[in-house]
Every structure is written in C-alpha cells, then in structure tokens.
C-alpha cells in the first residue's frame, strides 16, 4: 500500500512555513510515501518563486502543482523548464514552458501526477481538459497505474465530471483553487478517490488567506484594493489517500484539518 498526502493551496509565507514545519512529523507519524502540494499561491498569495519551490522540495514535497496564478512571478517562466517537479496545468497551448505531468520513482513503485485546470469561470480559458486527460492518462498508464490528478477549478460540477470521467483510470482526482475544504471525499465505484476541494494551507482568521477587512472593503466599494496575507493561526487542509500500488485503486481517503505550529503564528 502506498500512502499519499495531498495538500490544498498554500497561501503565502504563513502557509508555506506551517507546511514545512509540520511535514517531517507527518511523514514519520503517517508513514507517508509521497507528498503533493498545490503551490500556486505560495509567494505572498500569488504565484510561486524558484526559491519557494526549492524550499518545499527540500522539505520533502515530491511534486508541486499549480493553476491560474502559475505565471504571476515572472522569474518562474524560465525556471519551470528546469524543474520537472513543478507542474503547470496540462491544458495550456503547445509551446508553454514547463509540463503538466510527471512520473517519479518511489520505493513502492512509480507515481504519476497530472495537473489540469478547468474552464468554467476560470481565466485564462485553457484548452478542453477532457481529451488532453485521455491522452495523458493513456500514456502514463504505460509506466504506472498509480496516477493522481489535481483539478484546479471553480465549479464543483466540472470537478465531479472530471472525477467521474476518469473513474477507474486514475487513483485519485483531487480539487484545488477555492481554498475551502469540501466534505465530499469518497471513492467512486471503479476505485478512484475524489474530493471537490482539498482546502487551503494558510491563515484561518481570514478570507481565503487574505485580511478580512481588505476583502470586505472591496466587496462594499467595488474599488481596486490590495489583499494582504492575514496573520495569526494557520490551518493545513488536505487529504491522505491510501492506494494499492499494484492495481492503482484507492483503498481509503480521509480529510485532514491540522493546526500549524503555534510558534509560527504571530499575532494578527
């Protein structure tokens, strides 16, 4: 059995510091074999930098997925082509830097990861993910039956549709982007684990990781505003998935909602 941890969107310095601090303990206590995090908001809440990527990988993360903010830090454009463990959505047009898939070796066999972005209410509008997923999964299954898909998107319906579409062909379809953990974790009939959104790793007394006052002010005034990262207590959200490494079928999925280390929580 292969035990995999998937963490939802890391938000800013509070989120990434909490993840880095807790990961060694979790790897030991939960006997983790593979760790995936969504890092597209890890740099001050928008984008990711080469340094943050390296810090997360050194902390024990195997693969970093992303989404619509992947290009927000311009230095990532050249870097992503040099680091195959940092993924951008698969459905960018041909010629985009980087890749949307990766297969890595583990002591329990190979694990494949696919990063894809949905289209409903998302910007930019990317290529249709369904045929691209067909091709990517077919190719990846030549190497391994253990495949995890990060579906980065806004609507539950589109995420569920992709999960159902891939049921039995991948081990897990795990949603990101909304920063709110859903309670619909399940294993579909043909053996694919699913959750609409894994949640967020970041400040809990916030609005999606940003200061409460700034976001409320924007809703009231409709005027442009900066959204600083909130401070204080952090929570780490995600799922642990247990997978039969021979068949690729998911055996169990459970949500996690864990506190960040107390000594990393400055007063808000």
What pLDDT is stored for residue 224 in this prediction? 87
Q: Is the confidence at residue 41, as pLDDT, over 70?
A: yes
- Residue 192 located in a structural domain: yes
Number of domains in the chain: 1
d(Cα 13, Cα 196) in Å, to the nearest integer?
A: 25
Q: Is 221 buried (19+), middle (13-18) or exposed (0-12) by CB count in 10 A?
A: exposed
Q: Which 3 state secondary structure label does DSSP give 162? A: helix
pTM, to two decimals: 0.95
Q: Is 89 helix (H, G, I), strand (E, B) or coil?
A: coil
Domain that holds residue 234: 2-262
Percent of the chain scoring above 70 in pLDDT = 98
Q: Is the pLDDT of residue 259 over 90?
A: yes
Q: Is residue 267 part of a domain?
A: no
pLDDT class of 18 with cuts at 50, 70, 90 = very high
Contacts of residue 58, defined as CB under 8 A and 6 or more positions apart, other chains included, come to: none
Annotation says 69 is catalytic: yes
Residue 116 resides in a domain = yes
CB neighbours of residue 74 within 10 Å: 9
Tell me the C-alpha distance between 106 and 162, whole Å: 27
Q: What is the mean pLDDT of residues 222-241?
A: 94
CA dist., res. 151 & res. 41, Å (int): 15
* Structural domain contains residue 106: yes
Q: What tens digit of pLDDT does each residue of 114-172 get?
A: 999 999 999 999 999 999 999 999 999 999 999 999 999 999 999 999 999 999 999 99
Determine the pLDDT at residue 263. Answer: 57
What the block records as the tokens of 165 is 């579409």
196 in a domain, yes or no? yes
Query: Cα(117)–Cα(129) distance, rounded to whole angstroms?
Result: 7
- CA separation for the pair 224, 213 (Å, rounded): 14
Per-residue model confidence (pLDDT) at position 225: 85
Of 18, 57, 219, whose CA–CA distance to 26 is shortest? 18
Looking at residue 45, its pLDDT comes to 73
Confidence of residue 268 (pLDDT cuts 50, 70, 90): very low
* Catalytic residue (one of 69, 152, 177, 179): 69
pLDDT greater than 60 at residue 49: yes
Q: For the residues 215-229, what does the mean pLDDT come to? A: 92
pLDDT grade, residue 34 (50/70/90)? very high
Predicted local confidence at residue 262, as pLDDT: 73
Mean pLDDT, all residues of the chain:
95
CB of 250 closer than 8 Å to CB of 242? yes
φ/ψ (deg, to 5) at 237: -115, 145
18 within some domain: yes
Q: In residues, how long is the chain?
A: 268
pLDDT of residue 236: 98
Task: Find all residues with CB under 8 Å of 207, minimum gap 6, and list them.
Answer: 215, 216
Q: Tokens at residue 263, please?
A: 């000594």
Does any domain span residue 10?
yes
Alpha-carbon distance of 120 to 158, in angstroms, equals 7
CATH number of the domain that residue 153 is part of? 3.60.21.10
- CA dihedral sign of residues 32, 162, 136, 191: positive
* Residue 268 maps to a domain: no
Say yes or no to pLDDT of 82 above 90. yes
Concatenated DSSP letters for 234-262?
EEEEEEEEEE-TTT--EEEEEEEEEEPPG
Residue 52 has pLDDT above 80, yes or no: yes
* Beta-ladder partners of 104: 111
């Amino acid at each position: 059995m292969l035990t995999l941890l998937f963490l939802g969107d890391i938000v800013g310095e509070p989120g990434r510091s909490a993840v880095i601090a807790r990961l060694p303990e979790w790897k030991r206590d939960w006997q983790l074999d593979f760790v995936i995090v969504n890092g597209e908001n890890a740099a001050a809440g928008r984008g990711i930098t080469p340094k943050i990527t390296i810090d997360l990988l050194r902390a024990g993360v195997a693969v970093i997925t992303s989404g619509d903010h992947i290009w927000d830090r311009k230095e990532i454009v050249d870097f992503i082509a040099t680091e195959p463990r940092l993924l951008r959505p698969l459905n960018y047009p041909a010629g985009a830097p980087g890749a949307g898939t990766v297969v890595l070796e583990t002591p329990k066999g190979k694990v494949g990861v696919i990063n894809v972005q949905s289209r409903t209410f998302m910007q930019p509008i990317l290529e249709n993910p369904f045929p691209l997923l067909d091709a990517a999964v077919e190719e990846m299954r030549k190497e391994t039956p253990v495949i995890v898909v990060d579906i980065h998107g806004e609507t539950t319906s589109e995420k569920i549709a992709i999960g159902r579409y891939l049921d039995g062909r991948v081990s897990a379809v795990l949603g990101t982007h909304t920063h709110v953990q859903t309670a619909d974790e399940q294993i579909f009939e043909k053996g694919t684990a699913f959750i609409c959104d894994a949640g967020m790793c970041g400040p809990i007394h916030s609005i999606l990781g940003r200061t409460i006052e700034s976001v409320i002010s924007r809703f009231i005034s409709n005027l442009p505003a900066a959204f600083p990262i909130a401070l204080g207590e952090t929570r780490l959200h995600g799922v642990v998935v247990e997978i039969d490494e021979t068949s690729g079928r998911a055996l169990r999925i459970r949500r996690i909602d864990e506190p960040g280390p107390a000594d990393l929580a400055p007063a808000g």
